[in-house]
């Protein structure tokens, strides 16, 4: 446990399944290892099993139940070939955590390499450029000021416009749409959200700025937990030297988290539980975020039904 976590500011992440749970456990461990003075909060949806919650409780200050939001926008998600991204709409629950004045949201597939508490100097909405489309910000890391009003405004936009990429990044870029050409003080340096997989695009820069990398973000469909790891080495072809190093750093922490933090109830070795979709919903927790989304969700459902109707009438 950190000595005195600053209770008005928090790092927050989201976990919706056991794999991201291991990612978040690594992230929580690393945030403490680099000496954060802020509170650490992991939001979990009802799809997260008890074993994963127990592991997270060892590496985060607070495990918080949140409502699962799903954009259900399968057409657009299919365009991205990432149908699982819809669930990232659950990220929006972070705006409801108004017991905190300021939050740095970080994806569960990120890993800080050094202290990143200076991010709390930034105002809402601050973020780094997306490596794929630099006029958009990447939502793997962003600074926000929780507010139920902002939450409602973003949900309203989600109902009216959906998201151009089907995920939270399209929606948040549409909502905070002055980011690219507005106040440049809301542009966080790229070194706080570096995608090691993008190295082929600008390898000399990766070499030149390697020492300044504060946090890596393993974005894309292949995550650190998909790589085989044995004897301190990650198995994988076509990995650049620094990608391999980041992946091995991640796995070293993952091994530690699994061995010394995760206490299985049987003597069986740790195997990440596989989500079957039939996971028993967790017992109600005293930390449930007030749920005011049911009406919003019924709007979304109605909209989808209308769209489907419109589509089927075209044929
Ligand atoms: Mn991510």
**Which domains does the chain possess?**
6-313 (3.90.550.10)
Please give the Cα distance from 99 to 233 (Å, whole number).
42
Radius of gyration of the CA atoms of the chain, in A: 19
Distance 312 CA to ligand 1 centre (A): 34
Quick count: other Cβ atoms within 10 Å of Cβ 6? Answer: 16
Cα 21 to middle of ligand 1, angstroms? 13
Those residues whose C-beta lies under 8 Å from the C-beta of residue 219, and which sit 6 or more positions away, are: 107, 109, 138, 140, 195, 197
Low-confidence ranges of the chain (pLDDT < 70): 1-6, 70-86, 198-201, 260-315
Cα–Cα distance for residue pair 59/262, rounded to 1 Å: 10
Q: Are strands 38-44 and 62-65 parallel, antiparallel or unpaired?
A: parallel
In angstroms, what is the span from residue 315 Cα to ligand 1's centroid? 38
C-alpha of residue 111 to centroid of ligand 1, in Å: 10
Structure confidence at residue 71 (pLDDT): 67
Lookup result for tokens 């890391």: 141
Tell me, in angstroms, the distance from the centre of ligand 1 to residue 108's CA.
7
For residue 126, how far is its CA from the centre of ligand 1 (angstroms)? 17
How confident is the model at residue 150, as a pLDDT?
A: 95
Residues in the chain: 315
Report pLDDT for 58: 93
Residue 82: its pLDDT value, please?
63
CA distances from 128 to 21, 132, 138, 190 (A): 24, 12, 6, 5
CA of 260 to the centre of ligand 1 (A): 26
pTM, two decimals, is 0.80
Tell me the C-alpha distance between 167 and 88, whole Å: 6
Q: What is the pLDDT of residues 53-99, one digit of tens each?
A: 999 999 999 999 998 776 666 666 665 666 666 677 889 999 999 99
Q: Quick one: pLDDT at residue 141? A: 98
Residue identified by tokens 């008890």 is 50
What residues have a C-beta under 5 A from ligand 1, the ion? 107, 109, 140, 219
* CA–centroid distance, residue 88 to ligand 1 (Å): 10
């Amino acid at each position: 446990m950190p000595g005195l976590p600053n209770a008005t500011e928090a790092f927050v992440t989201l976990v919706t399944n056991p794999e991201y749970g291991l990612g978040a456990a690594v992230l929580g461990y690393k945030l403490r290892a680099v000496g954060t003075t802020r509170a650490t909060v992991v939001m979990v949806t009802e799809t997260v099993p008890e074993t994963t919650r127990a592991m997270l409780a060892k590496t985060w200050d607070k495990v918080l139940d949140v409502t699962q939001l799903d954009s259900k926008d399968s057409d657009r998600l299919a365009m991205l070939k990432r149908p699982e991204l819809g669930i990232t709409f659950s990220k929006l629950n972070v705006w409801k955590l108004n017991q905190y004045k300021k939050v740095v949201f970080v994806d569960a597939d990120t890993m800080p390499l050094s202290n990143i508490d200076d991010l709390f100097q930034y105002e809402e909405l601050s973020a780094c450029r997306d490596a794929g489309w630099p006029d958009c910000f990447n939502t793997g890391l962003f600074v926000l000021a929780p507010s139920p009003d902002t939450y409602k405004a973003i949900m309203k936009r989600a109902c009216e416009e959906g998201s151009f990429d089907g995920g939270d990044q399209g929606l948040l870029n549409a909502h905070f749409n002055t980011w690219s050409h507005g106040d440049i003080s809301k542009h966080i340096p790229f070194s706080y959200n570096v995608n090691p997989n993008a190295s082929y695009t600008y390898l000399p820069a990766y070499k030149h700025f390697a020492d300044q990398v504060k946090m890596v973000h393993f974005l894309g469909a292949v995550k650190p937990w998909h790589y085989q790891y044995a004897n301190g080495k990650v198995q994988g072809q076509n990995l650049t030297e620094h990608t391999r190093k980041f992946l091995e750093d991640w796995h070293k922490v993952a091994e530690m988290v699994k061995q010394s933090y995760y206490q299985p109830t049987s003597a069986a070795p740790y195997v990440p539980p596989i989500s079957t979709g039939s996971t028993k919903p967790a017992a109600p927790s005293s930390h449930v975020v007030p749920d005011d989304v049911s009406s919003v969700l019924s709007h979304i459902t109605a909209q989808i039904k209308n769209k489907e109707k419109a589509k089927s009438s075209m044929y």
